[in-house]
Copies of this chain bind each other. A is one copy, B any other.
Amino acid sequence: MDNSEIKRILKSVKTGTMTVNSALDSLKHLPYEDIGFARIDHHRTLRQGIPEVIFAKDKKLKDIIAIADSMLKKNSKLLITKTTKDIYKDISLLCKQYNKKVRFYERSGVITVAEAQKKTGMVVVLCAGTSDVPVAEETLVTASFLGSKAEIISDVGVAGLHRLIDAEKIFTRARVLVVIAGMEGALPSVVGGMTDKPIIAVPTSAGYGTSLGGLTALFAMLNSCVPGIAVMNIDNGFGAGVLAHRINTL
């Protein structure tokens, strides 16, 4: 439920094509819907510009289905992150009931239900190594789901600068850059030295030993000698996609 739908309801009331009572009915789920263990925030789009999204990792399957069911009743779009193939199967069955098209992105475990929409601007996602691709895909799908044009340039880590320099032609076309890296997390600094675009850095948990599950990349990015690089939580491709979309559509 987004701004345009609400406007449509209000116009219908104004023009008399909808009774006040049925409009009330449509709007009453606005604050949130209480389904016992969860309160679903159907009008989050109004407030935050993006709909409520299901983060699947810490949730039980039946809870995910219940929340998705409540959302699909009221919304045309749905995004679920950090899922597995098993969750996808059940969501897929649910979507059949609502006659909605669902898509599963296997590397990142993202599930989307979305209608065709016009994409604007350009978010470029730079990805240091092949191990970082799942996080990059999460960013790409999120930004795209929200309405941004988006593109991945993968495997441009600092060990082979010429690959990155070749990519420069592409990423100068971006309005905002998301730079994703694990291990020593050096890519955002090097990209930062080559551009005047806003950069969002995402550390990944790729690596072993002193990579400390991504903390090393995170801290490296926070300490970049290039000013103006902002950092997301480890493996948080979704959050980067949201912020990139917001900046891209300013």
Q: A residues bordering B, Cβ < 8 Å?
A: 31-32, 36-39, 41, 44, 47-50, 53, 57-59, 63, 67, 82, 128-131, 133, 154-163, 166, 175-176, 182-186, 189-190, 192-200, 203, 205-236, 238-240, 242-243, 245-247, 250
Contact = CB atoms under 8 A, between A and B. Distances in A.
Given A48-B226, A227-B238, A163 B209 contact: no
A203 B209 CA distance: 10
A186 B162 contact: no
A159 B219 contact: no
A38 to B, nearest CB: 5
A189 B236 contact: no
Contacts of A159: 41, 44, 48, 189, 192-193, 225-226
Copies in the assembly, this chain: 8
13 contacts: A31-B162, A32-B160, A41-B163, A48-B159, A158-B186, A183-B224, A186-B186, A203-B209, A205-B209, A229-B239, A230-B230, A230-B232, A230-B243
A47 B193 contact: yes
B155 A39 contact: yes
Contacts of A195: 47-48
Contact of A222 (B162, B166, B232): B232
B154 A38 contact: yes
A193 B161 contact: yes
Given A130-B59, A238-B227, A212 B216 contact: no
